[in-house]
Structure 1
Amino acid sequence: MNNNEIKHTEKLIERFFNGDTTLAEERSLYRLFSRGVLPPELEKYRPVFAGFGSMQAGGEHRARLMPAFRRAVCGTAAALVLIFGVSAYLNYHEDRMLARVYGGSYVIENGHRIDDLSMIKTDIETALGEARHIEEHIEKRSPIEQAEQDLLNSIDDPDERKRISEMLN
């Protein structure tokens, strides 16, 4: 570099520190200080401009917007994943509730034991409904009717039970 170039560069550096340089001038300073050999009077500025040059953006970047169709597809996919996740959780939660309430229950159909709670849930609920109905029916009976029924249930002989039932009615 000749003396004029060095003086011009020093003035440019002074303007840089005063905040009066343009982006193009700043880029030329960054390029200058990234070169291998510099005059001794400029060498002291190398670390400063190397640091500023490393922070320089690679150029202007424009934000790219996702096309509307792609956003719609992504939104739909996200909604489906959410629906699937909620559905899986609800199924899991229902299985846990069934196990907590009906754990250990089973049904025998055609000689086969079925203990999958999701398959026998309706059978269990039907049996519980019938049991509630029987309890309600029993609660509606008078104490005398209850005693008579208990007496009849305690008799093993069917003929004797029939004869006593006829006498009570």
Structure 2
Amino acid sequence: MELNKIELLIEKYFQGETSIVEENELRTYFSSLNVAQHLEQYKPLFGYLSLAADQKFAQEIPLLPIPKLRDEYKKRNVPWLSMAASVIVLMGIGTYVYYNYEDANSKQDLGTYDDPEVAFRQTQKALALLSNHVNVGIESVHYIKEYQESKELIFKQ
């Protein structure tokens, strides 16, 4: 009877449906000396899990005082890192402008219309599009405002 129960528990274990109590039962069964021969292949798996649970991290981590941390931070040449980042950003902007300059100059059609009715409809369409994008931006500002209020509530600034 116990062997059938263990086999069912192994099947449930590999399907990810076991509880902690059932997994502990499997561990105790496989750590005993009377494991069925056809289940011997699972013994290292459950043996490793029991060994891993018993292991403790024994090495001590040295804690540095805060002033010493600041000194080490200053030693890392942070100004050089920020200058390098600035140069990379400027090179990226320059590359973008260089490759897109021709496209900007070729689009000189300003959308002029001879008929005032057509011009009015196109203006309404453009303003509606602009309004939609502004409304999306305003929604983002509401999220930022809600975040700021939550932060002030938590940190009581």
Name the TM-score, length of structure 2 as normaliser.
0.33
Q: Normalising by structure 1, what TM-score?
A: 0.31
